[in-house]
Amino acid sequence: MKRGRVTRVVLNVVALAIFVVVVFPVFWMISTALKPDDEIVALNPTWLPTTPTLSHFSAAVERPFFWEDVKNSLIIVGATVTISIVLAFLAAIALAKYGFSGRKLFIVLVIGIQMLPQAGLIIPLYVVLARYHQVNALTGVIVTYMTFVLPFCVWTLRGFLIGIPKDLEEAAMVDGSTRLGAFFRILLPLIAPGLVATSVFAFVTTWNEYIFARILLNDQSKQTITVWLSYFLGTSRNTDWGALMAASTLTAVPVIIFFLLVQRKIVFGLTAGAVKA
Amino acid sequence: MYGRILLAAAVMAALAMAASAGATVKTPSGQTAGSITVWLQVDAQTGWPDAVAAANRQFEQAHPGTDVKIQYQNWGDHLQKFDATLAGGSGPDVIEMGNTEMTKYMAAGAFADLSSRKSGFANSASWLKGLAQAGTFAGKLYGVPYYAGSRVVTYRKDLFTKAGLRQAPNSLAQYRFYAQKVGKKNTSKGFSPIYIAGTDWYFAMSFVYDYGGQIAATSKGKWVGRLDSAKSMAGLLAYKNFFKATSRASKTTDETRPNPYDVYARGQAASMVGPSWFSCCVGDKYKATSAQFVMPSHDKGKPMPGFLGGSNLAVPVTSGDKALAGDWIRAFTDTASQRTFQAKGNIPNATNLLGTSVNERAAVRSWFVPTAKHWVDVENGNILRNMLAQILTGRLTIKQAASSASDNIASVLNRP
Amino acid sequence: MTAAETSILESPRRRRVTLARLARASVPYWLILPVLLAVGAILGYPLYSLIRLSFQHYGLFELIQRQGQPIGLDNYRSVLQDRVFWDTLARTTVFTVANVALTIGIGTLLALLLVRVSTAVRLLLTGGLVLAWSMPTVVAVQVWYWMTNYENGVLNYVLTELHVGDFFHHDWYATTFSQLALVTALVVWGALPFVAITLYAALAQVPRELVEAAEIDGARGWRIFRDVTFPILKPVLLILTSLSIIWDFGVFTQPFLLIGQSQIHPSNYLMGVYLFEEGYFKSDFGRGAAISILMLAIVAVLSVFYVRKMVKVGDAA
């Protein structure tokens, strides 16, 4: 249909315009990372570096503890996301598909935790973790992140589960499988896009978290990459903008890789939903 | 019915587990045996790592078997981290504190008393008064002076010589006169003959003290704000006029957004007021033609009182081994270390070590903030900065802004 | 169930049936137990501690002594009588409404757009959204500040070049409205990717055959959205809205870092910043705890409408 094609072209153009606006700060960050110092502080900004340089990237990587802190971030985020998604999925099934007394109480608890202002909990949490010797330890941070990520994951996954039409569930149970079995065989592929979106969120949130990582981790060899980044700005002396932007670009890379790995799942989920008849 | 009981039991168990575990596990009271932890600001990491290494070597030789862990902190959040360690333990044995931050923590009993060890610290008989005062509370020594810094003018010698200035100006009026001449010769948009950030209260208050005013004073045991006195307001008016005549910086921003030397380095400023280490970052183009002089007073021939910034080293009460902590401080503040700090452009902590650099000459006439327990809250509450922004933008008259700031300062300082 | 159960203790056959039923009935409890344990073990004591703190005078001195002085409701009274608290609350409410409306509105439009564009453009836009999302907040704030700075911000440059006006040395941080508008733009920009991608994933669950069936019936665009798409999106939309309210109300990092520590002032406080300033900077932890509890109560009230709907939707399914 001709009208459909024109609409599509118009929408494509709109999408591209939005892309430019959304991506601009990222572009500015990368462009600055590649500019030599004098272009960075120049009065009239240049869009693209006239003489691109990789010196900022090498300066950033050579700063103390870069690789250790990347490793720490990967460990913390990997553990947090994996454990949280599994636990949250189980709880979400309970909330979405079972009617059990105390359900409302659990829901209130899950939502309530999200409403807690995190800043208020910093010191009490620190005191508790110190008692268990979990300060200055990766496990302490993992456990802290889990408690903030879990309620969100439970909630979001519940939403995705509810969205699945009931007749699909019932069709699965017709062939005699238990309710739980039906979930894992039929619904899991259907909810794959939701699982992916939730895990991407969990990944991004924990990868970018700063306040608790800063307070709980003292040894620079144990800190996360976001804390490492803050050292560029903390000094009262010369701020190396080029290196900061280069370092920031580097910290974004794992997130992008993670998304590239899982975005196929979203596409797969799309086609799976279409095939279901 | 069963469901509800099961759920309640689970919740109770979880909470009880947490609470009881908290009650029975003992709070650790110090570091692992055989090591001390030192919190220094990142300035040391980038500025004088050799002094740190030397102090560590000296300490480890004197105490074989004990090693030193240095953990570098940022000015922005080191106090929040410190608060957390005071609450939960596992904090540092030595901590670097800004001199304006000391009073609040000394009053709260955060530090160990070092008075008995005072004579053991190098040059303690001639410590700089400002730094020593910052580290003393109720007659007891809690913070050992580390280093200080004052403010000087960094300027483009070539531009000012072309305008006719051949030596350091001897008065504020003379500086302003030549600055305006430089401004007339340079017509690029937004060029500041003197780059002054609008809410740079360290600089603005120098005017207040120069005219004989002050920020606050005690009267009958209570703090009274003095920014609305005639002398203080004269100083504020002088600051406003000076700013309007010579600076094109934002009226509402502070002295780190942007860094004055970034503006200077791209040729948008002919001079700037700030710490002497600004000379590091004037840009390759202007390194050869830049020099420094002491900021002159409106009184001919005198320097303007400069804010004496600096740091002290203290031993938190939560430290596991205060004696060792004191020994490390002694190693790090000995004369050799002070010479290193001095070489890097800082002011050493004792008058017998003072040299004749511009930075040190500027420290001769200085002012310091009211030594009140809650002064840090006045700084963090941006009361002075906000007042300056209102004065410079014209939103309030000097009298209105100064009165309201004085009232705010008094109510904050007088809090129990 | 209860009446029948009391008589089960007689018959063995009935007992076996009930045991099986019990096993099946306990499945949901086993499913939620791990989450409960994880959260309870870590947050249990801090929460209790926070509540207790709010009834004590607990400053720096008390922190070091590890002992607070009980003062009953004085902290709450002091906060509720503080003019700054009410001004901040009003300001934050307006801020939250604006942010949530923009985030959810634009996010939904983006998700709908993603479904309809060609694959290459979709991948590009999704990739762009993820790129924006992957920037750590502290970095994003620095970049945004830099783009909008007084001396050489690219925003001023572009606006002047486009002849919108003379924006040379325009100070975006001079007035409260301007400051908070920038913070809003930053927060919405950071929140859009998540909302758009989540809604897009939810749209992927809309069975194609339902849409086709509606189209065959003669429905178009808006009606399809209203009758087919929206009901399936509803649970996810409700979640995203309630979460956005919670997050935007308590936002701290963006306003604090973008406006800058030296320009934060009661005239531009948002609740998250107010809490941090009162509790941490002033080292009045008891008062900070009281503010936290009050914030929790307010957010609960603000989001109760959506939360109730969410619970109802779950029940109906």
**Dist CA C128 CA A143 (whole Å):** 31
Contact in structure between C214 and C232 (CB atoms under 8 Å) = no
Verify that A268 and A137 share a domain, yes or no. Answer: yes
Verify that B314 and B327 share a domain, yes or no. Answer: yes
DSSP string across B351-403: GGG---SHHHHHTTSEE-----TTHHHHHHTTHHHHHHHHHHHTSS-HHHHHH
What residues of C are in contact with residue B15 (Cβ under 8 Å)? Answer: 40, 44-45, 48
Verify that B56 and B131 share a domain, yes or no. Answer: yes
CB contact under 8 A, A210 and C138: yes
The whole domain housing C103 covers: 83-316
What residues of B are in contact with residue A218 (Cβ under 8 Å)? Answer: 37, 71, 81, 90
Identify from B26, B48, B77 which residue to disrupt to test chain A contact, counting A C-beta atoms within 10 A and taking the largest count.
Answer: B77
Percent of chain A at pLDDT above 90? 18
CB pairs under 8 A between A and C: 299
Verify that C187 and C289 share a domain, yes or no. Answer: yes
Q: Which residue has the higher pLDDT, C230 or B404?
A: B404
List pLDDT tens digits, range A147-172: 989 998 998 888 777 767 777 666 66
CB contact under 8 A, B252 and C44: no
CB pairs under 8 A between B and C: 125
Verify that C43 and C185 share a domain, yes or no. Answer: no
Secondary structure of C54-122 as H, E, C letters: CCEECCHHHHHHCCCEECCCHHHHHHHCCHHHHHHHHHHHHHHHHHHHHHHHHHHHHHHHHHHCCHHHH
Verify that C91 and C47 share a domain, yes or no. Answer: no
Cα C202 versus chain centre, distance: 19
- Nearest CB to B4; choose among A101, A231, A235: A101
- Nearest CB to C300; choose among A115, A156, A248: A115
B33 part of contact set with chain A, CB < 8 Å: no
CA-nearest residue of chain C to B415? C282
DSSP state of B347: B
Verify that A10 and A119 share a domain, yes or no. Answer: no
Verify that B363 and B380 share a domain, yes or no. Answer: no
Q: HSE (CB half, 13 Å, CA atoms) of B13?
A: 11
Assess if residue B2 is contained within a domain: no
What is residue B105's predicted lDDT score, i.e. its pLDDT? Answer: 95
What is residue B16's predicted lDDT score, i.e. its pLDDT? Answer: 36
Verify that B170 and B234 share a domain, yes or no. Answer: yes
Verify that C42 and C93 share a domain, yes or no. Answer: no
- Nearest CB to C32; choose among A28, A94, A274: A94
CB contact under 8 A, C2 and B109: no
Kindly list the residues of chain C whose beta carbon comes within 8 Å of any beta carbon in chain B. 1-2, 22, 25-26, 29, 33, 36-37, 39-42, 44-45, 48, 59-61, 63-66, 145, 149-151, 168-169, 171, 173-174, 260-265, 267, 277, 280-283
DSSP state of B117: G
Distances (CA, A) of C306 to B63, C24, C91, C107: 64, 31, 21, 18
Verify that B323 and B389 share a domain, yes or no. Answer: no
The whole domain housing A77 covers: 63-275
Assess if residue A58 is contained within a domain: no
Highest mean pLDDT: which range of A119-123, A196-200, B402-406, C118-122 = B402-406
The whole domain housing B41 covers: 35-150+309-367
**Dist CA B346 CA B328 (whole Å):** 21
Assess if residue C74 is contained within a domain: no
Verify that C26 and C105 share a domain, yes or no. Answer: no
Verify that B228 and B167 share a domain, yes or no. Answer: yes
DSSP run (H or E) holding B3? helix B2-24
Assess if residue B122 is contained within a domain: yes
Mean pLDDT to the nearest integer, B134-160: 93
Assess if residue B18 is contained within a domain: no
Verify that B275 and B218 share a domain, yes or no. Answer: yes
Verify that C124 and C221 share a domain, yes or no. Answer: yes
What residues of B are in contact with residue C173 (Cβ under 8 Å)? Answer: 250, 252-253
What residues of A are in contact with residue C303 (Cβ under 8 Å)? Answer: 111, 115
What residues of B are in contact with residue C35 (Cβ under 8 Å)? Answer: none
Provide φ and ψ at A33, rounded to 5°: -65, -25
Assess if residue A170 is contained within a domain: yes
Per-residue pLDDT at B20 exceeds 70: no
CATH of the domain at C221: 1.10.3720.10
Assess if residue B13 is contained within a domain: no
What is residue C248's predicted lDDT score, i.e. its pLDDT? Answer: 93
**Dist CA C277 CA C300 (whole Å):** 22
Assess if residue C66 is contained within a domain: no
Verify that A29 and A73 share a domain, yes or no. Answer: no
- Nearest CB to B266; choose among A41, A220, A230: A41
Q: Which residue has the higher pLDDT, A44 or B112?
A: B112
B28 part of contact set with chain A, CB < 8 Å: yes
Per-residue pLDDT at C2 exceeds 70: no
CATH of the domain at A120: 1.10.3720.10
Determine the distance in angstroms separating the CA of B264 from the nearest CA of chain C, rounded to an integer: 12
Within the 5-44 window of chain B, which residues sit less than 8 Å (CB to CB) from chain C? Answer: 6-7, 10-11, 13-15, 17-19, 22
Give the residue among A198, C74, C169 at the shortest CA–CA distance from B249. Answer: C169
What is residue C188's predicted lDDT score, i.e. its pLDDT? Answer: 97
Domain count, chain A: 2
- Nearest CB to C282; choose among B256, B377, B382: B377
List pLDDT tens digits, range C199-239: 888 887 777 777 777 777 776 777 777 877 888 788 788 88
**Dist CA C8 CA C15 (whole Å):** 6
Last residue of a domain, one of A9, A32, A53: A53
What is residue A183's predicted lDDT score, i.e. its pLDDT? Answer: 63
Distances (CA, A) of B266 to A37, A223, B94, B263: 11, 36, 40, 6
Verify that B74 and B116 share a domain, yes or no. Answer: yes
Tell me which amino acid residue B160 is.
F
Assess if residue A113 is contained within a domain: yes
Instruction: Name residue A16's beta-bridge partners.
Output: none
B4 part of contact set with chain A, CB < 8 Å: yes
**Dist CA A107 CA A95 (whole Å):** 8
Assess if residue B29 is contained within a domain: no
Per-residue pLDDT at C171 exceeds 70: yes
Distances (CA, A) of C121 to A7, A10, A13, C199: 14, 12, 9, 17
CB contact under 8 A, A237 and B43: yes
List pLDDT tens digits, range C238-255: 888 988 998 899 999 899
Verify that B276 and B329 share a domain, yes or no. Answer: no
Verify that A143 and A220 share a domain, yes or no. Answer: yes
Verify that B263 and B403 share a domain, yes or no. Answer: yes
CB contact under 8 A, B250 and C173: yes
**Dist CA A206 CA A199 (whole Å):** 10
CB contact under 8 A, A12 and C121: yes
Assess if residue B14 is contained within a domain: no
Verify that C11 and C104 share a domain, yes or no. Answer: no
What is residue B12's predicted lDDT score, i.e. its pLDDT? Answer: 40
**Dist CA A74 CA A268 (whole Å):** 26
Verify that A88 and A125 share a domain, yes or no. Answer: yes
CATH of the domain at B281: 3.40.190.10
The C-alpha torsion from B88 through B89 and B90 to B92, rounded to 10°, is: 110
CB contact under 8 A, C239 and A22: no
Verify that C116 and C11 share a domain, yes or no. Answer: no
Assess if residue C58 is contained within a domain: no
Mean pLDDT to the nearest integer, C59-69: 88
Verify that A44 and A147 share a domain, yes or no. Answer: no
- Nearest CB to C42; choose among A112, A144, A277: A144
List pLDDT tens digits, range A32-63: 899 888 777 777 778 888 888 899 898 888 88
CA-nearest residue of chain C to B5? C29
DSSP run (H or E) holding B41? strand B35-41
Residues ≥6 apart with Cβ < 8 Å to C24: none
Predicted ipTM of the assembly: 0.82
Verify that B391 and B376 share a domain, yes or no. Answer: yes
Q: Which residue has the higher pLDDT, B175 or C130?
A: B175
Last residue of a domain, one of B367, B389, B405: B367
Assess if residue C40 is contained within a domain: yes
Mean pLDDT of chain A: 81
Domain count, chain B: 2
Assess if residue C71 is contained within a domain: no
Verify that A49 and A88 share a domain, yes or no. Answer: no
Identify from B6, B20, B78, B203 which residue to disrupt to test chain C contact, counting C C-beta atoms within 10 A and taking the largest count.
Answer: B6
Verify that A153 and A242 share a domain, yes or no. Answer: yes
Give the residue among B196, B379, B410, B394 at the shortest CA–CA distance from B304. Answer: B196
Per-residue pLDDT at C134 exceeds 70: yes
CB contact under 8 A, A136 and B268: no
Verify that A45 and A87 share a domain, yes or no. Answer: no
CB contact under 8 A, B87 and A127: yes
